[in-house]
Amino acid sequence: MTNTIVCGMQWGDEGKGKIVDLICPAFEVVVRYQGGNNAGHTVKFGDSHFALHLVPSGILHPETQCVLGTGMVINPEVLFEELDGLSQAGVESEGRLFISDRAHVLLPLYADLDQAREVARGKGQIGTTARGIGPAYESKAARAGLRMIDLYAGDLETRTRNLLVRLEREIVDLGGQPVGHPARLADHMRLWRDKLGPYLCDTAKKINGWMDEKKNVLFEGAQGALLDLDHGTYPYVTSSNPTSGGACTGSGVPPTRIDGAIGVLKAYTTRVGGGPFVTELEEDAGEELRKRGNEFGTTTGRPRRCGWLDLVVARYSRMLNGVDTVALTKLDVLDDLDEIKVCVGYQVGGEVVKDLPAKLDDLEKAQPVYTTVKGWKQETVGIVDFDKLPDEAKEYISLIEDGVGAPVGLISTGPRREETIVRPETNLLELISGRDEVILSQRSAHATKAQSTD
């Protein structure tokens, strides 16, 4: 039995979607455990493309059960749109998708409040996707939110009115417009209830039951460790816990039932929105990397900030997540560079530090300490054998392994599913043993592009 977490090691957008899709056939169950429709991954299935923001990409594997866990905040309208799109392409979800009855409902007015707050912040904007994720988690923490099961409550209209009054007051104070009458919103939620009914259940009981049956469960994190509410670059973070600990609280599974964690690390660094970014490349250099890597958000379309790989961040993330295997993505984006810089420490207040500072001011003023390696100046796109990589690329990977403190077991050399190296000496091959003829097939019915999590 192997119950595994896939988590991002940077600020999201590491390519988790491809990695999950690649190893998914080894698992009977895929669980999303946090976040909402502020994350996204673009999936190709046959001749169709899907931009999925809530539904796990495992839904495209006919034998896989998918779960939206308790730790999520779910916008029903976005969910229905995704399910309709999948159905039109012949992918049915009923009987295979299970939604926690304890997950919180993301109401449209949360997005209105999110947008009003960002406008009011002016230059101090956090860079939220304005999808209402933060306000939804805020209501949850204040014990004022609505869970999926609460859509069936007899006092739904009263609870809706109380919530609406509180949120509208702040929206108006920030210069926004009133949303509408609570009775109309309650009627809308009753329609949601009817459509959601077949999917709702006690997902914690269901997941633990599958584990009792020795089924393999894959936990799919959205975003990345440096956006974690508790451990990220606060306040420029998300409102949930993308780190591996969030998989337990967000799904209802005890940590003793987790067997390992795969950390997804991009071969360079990107970030969306505000916040410190020590290795950021400005102007032409950053723009060139952005073009090479097609670094634009799936959810918002915003250009991502780009910079060199930061091993201070990666090492910190490996510790937080308990990563035992690294999946390195977008190596091919670096193919044409004469030289590549890697950050191995920060210059802060006259001294070199190797650990991520907690103080925001230190992060904003920190200067990167780089080591420079020679570029390989050869195309690596589509290489599936590690031995066929250029020597300089192998040296780059070795530098990452030494700096992170974990082996690189998988290397993505392109957006297609089959453009992947799986190294036999790592435990990742053990994870997918017996299924690699399915996983690595070049006749795959679908391929996944790198995940976006802004």
DSSP conformation letters of 346-359: EEETTEEE-S--S-
Query: Residue 438 corresponds to which tokens in the numbers above?
Result: 């399915």
Considering the candidates 21, 41, 112, 446, report the single residue annotated as catalytic: 41
Residue 197's nearest CA partner among 51, 98, 49 is 98
164: number of CA atoms within 13 Å, CB side? 17
Return phi, psi of residue 323, to 5°: -65, 125
Q: Is there a catalytic annotation at residue 13? A: yes
Helix, strand or coil for residue 335? coil
Distance CA 233, CA 210 (A): 36
172 within 8 A of 116, measured Cβ to Cβ? no
How far apart (Å, rounded) are the C-alpha atoms in residues 307 and 85? Answer: 35
Return the HEC string of 53-116.
Answer: CCCCHHHHCCCCEEEECCCEEECHHHHHHHHHHHHHCCCCCCCCEEEECCCEECCHHHHHHHHH
DSSP string, 222-251: -S-GGG-TTTSSTTSS-SS--SHHHHHHTT
Q: What phi and psi values does residue 443 have, to the nearest 5 degrees?
A: -100, 25
Helix (H/G/I), strand (E/B), else coil: 386 = helix
Query: Helix 76-88 crosses helix 182-196 at what angle (to 10 degrees)?
Result: 40
Residue from 13, 112, 228, 454 carrying the catalytic annotation? 13
Angle at 228 between CA 225 and CA 234, to 5 degrees: 115
Alpha carbon separation from 388 to 15, 381, 392 (Å, rounded) = 23, 11, 11
**Cis ω for the linkage preceding 178 (within 30 of 0):** no
Nearest to 297 by CA among 41, 7, 25, 64: 41
- Residue 302 is given by DSSP the state P
Q: Give the residues across from 73 on adjacent strands.
A: 104
Comparing CA positions, the residue from 5, 73, 4, 78 lying closest to residue 34 is 73
Torsion of CA 208, 238, 327, 344, to 10 degrees: -140
- In sequence order, the β-bridge partners of residue 353 are 346
* Residue whose C-alpha is closest to residue 451's, from 128, 51, 97, 55: 51
Is residue 355 part of the annotated active site? The answer reads no
What's the DSSP call for residue 218? E
Locate 144 and state its tokens. Answer: 């004022």
Active-site positions?
13, 41
